[in-house]
Amino acid sequence: MPVLRFIAATYNIHKCVGTDRVCDPRRVARVIRELAADVVGLQEVESRADGNRQSEQMNYLARAAGFRALAGPTIRRREGDYGNVLLTRWPVSQSRRVDISFPGKEPRGAIEALLRIHGRPVRVVVTHLGLAGAERRYQARCLETLLCEEKEEVLVLLGDMNDWFPRSRSLRLFHRCMGRAPGCATFPSRRPFLGLDRIWVRPSEALSSVCVHKSIAARVASDHLPLKGEIRLRARSSPSVPTSGLPCMP
């Protein structure tokens, strides 16, 4: 039986405001198309209901890049919502939003969705953790029960973890629950040296490669670079190939 593959990516789009301080959703849509991904987790999506199609960033980006969108707003306002978005080319069986907000800090959340990819169930979680260490530890614990549930054969976690210390408590929790994920430098986009954005896959050997997308457009479109990985859906009887210590590809 052939190995089935799909591409997953995570991308903090910074409200579509680029490093040149220009808000340009068309530029972000171009970067998303460049990824050639099947599933994309977005953070910091601003969708303003002001009558301008490009201000409705979630719907605009989904249409422009050819995806279905699942909203995960963390801040709701009269003029529009702000938060996470899951873009998918595959059917959605179930989805829900999970509140992981820390008291006194900016509201945070996660999207959990069950997708049918190549006819197989794949659970995808998209999130964006907070800026303070105590906040991130709290949020990691909130997600621990969800992630450690044995539901589907393949689980994918996509997010801006706002953490780059290899031995941080929040990252160690995710590594313990999901297996280790490569820490590829994605921030700041012009000269990245911090690995804020992560892709975890369980089982870890299903993640066959991971790389930072460094196109000219990506270096300007947001203050983060997108991170993408190839994920293999193996036949149940096929032997697994360990990929611990998987490097970031250039």
Q: Give domain status of residue 108, yes or no.
A: yes
Q: The CATH number of the domain where 63 resides is what?
A: 3.60.10.10
pLDDT digits (tens, 9 = 90+) for 120-170: 999 999 999 999 999 999 999 999 988 987 667 899 999 999 999 878 999
The full DSSP string for 88-123 is ESS-EEEEEEEE-PPTTS---EEEEEEEEETTEEEE
This prediction has a pTM of: 0.92
Q: Flag whether 248 is in a domain.
A: no
User: Which residue segment(s) compose the domain that 159 sits in?
Assistant: 4-233
Number of domains making up the chain = 1
155 in a structural domain = yes
Q: What is the pLDDT of residues 77-108, one digit of tens each?
A: 878 899 999 999 999 999 999 999 999 999 99
Q: What is the pLDDT of residue 130?
A: 97
**241: in domain:** no
Is 242 a member of any domain?
no
Sheet holding 207-212, edge to edge: 68-77, 80-88, 39-48, 4-12, 227-233, 207-212
